[in-house]
């Protein structure tokens, strides 16, 4: 019986980790508006599995899917013009790791520099540094906020 209780507690803990700090698209848009100082931008909302185990698996696989993934392809299409024209885009979603990996995959599948890209990642601090590295490697400007606005 103790094993069942321990397993149930572990399962709820894992599910809670994936959704901690989650926000709505409207809240993400408000955070992005602050980051972009009320300038025009596009928001990409990344849906994802909302539980720990499937969220971790999806996050691990998104990078290998590349542009075959509809999410990665959509992000890629949104950021691609930043090689020539200014693009402000905010990326957020239900699962911070999945959202970060989707953005990184889109940036990794871009063969040219994006000097006119301003990308705001609204997700956890633990995922932000990897997204920052990918954005800055393409010559873009990185902005960040956590789901609670810090």
Domain boundaries, the chain: 2-145
8-51 confidence digits (pLDDT tens): 222 333 333 334 346 799 999 999 999 999 999 999 998 865 55
Which is nearest to 143 in space by CA: 39, 20, 63, 26?
A: 39
82-128 confidence digits (pLDDT tens): 999 999 999 999 888 889 989 999 999 899 999 999 999 999 999 99
User: Who wins on pLDDT, 147 or 43?
Assistant: 43
Predicted pLDDT at 125: 96
Predicted pLDDT at 13: 31
Predicted pLDDT at 147: 87
Cβ(10)–Cβ(51) under 8 Å? no
| 115/91 Cα distance (integer angstroms) | 18
Residue 52's pLDDT band, with cuts at 50, 70 and 90, is low
CA-based end-to-end distance of the chain:
42
Instruction: Give pTM, 2 decimals.
Output: 0.76
């Amino acid at each position: 019986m103790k094993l069942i209780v321990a397993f149930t507690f572990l399962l709820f803990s894992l599910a809670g980790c994936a959704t901690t700090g989650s926000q709505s698209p409207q809240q993400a848009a408000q955070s992005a508006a602050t980051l972009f100082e009320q300038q025009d931008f596009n928001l990409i909302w990344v849906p994802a599995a909302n539980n720990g185990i499937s969220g971790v698996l999806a996050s691990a696989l998104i990078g290998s899917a590349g542009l075959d993934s509809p999410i990665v392809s959509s992000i890629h299409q949104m950021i691609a013009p930043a090689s020539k024209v200014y693009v402000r885009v905010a990326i957020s979603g239900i699962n911070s790791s999945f959202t970060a990996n989707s953005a990184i995959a889109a940036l990794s599948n871009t063969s040219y520099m994006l000097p006119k890209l301003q990308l705001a990642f609204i997700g956890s601090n633990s995922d932000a540094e990897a997204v920052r590295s990918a954005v800055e490697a393409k010559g873009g400007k990185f902005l960040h906020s956590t789901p609670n606005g810090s």
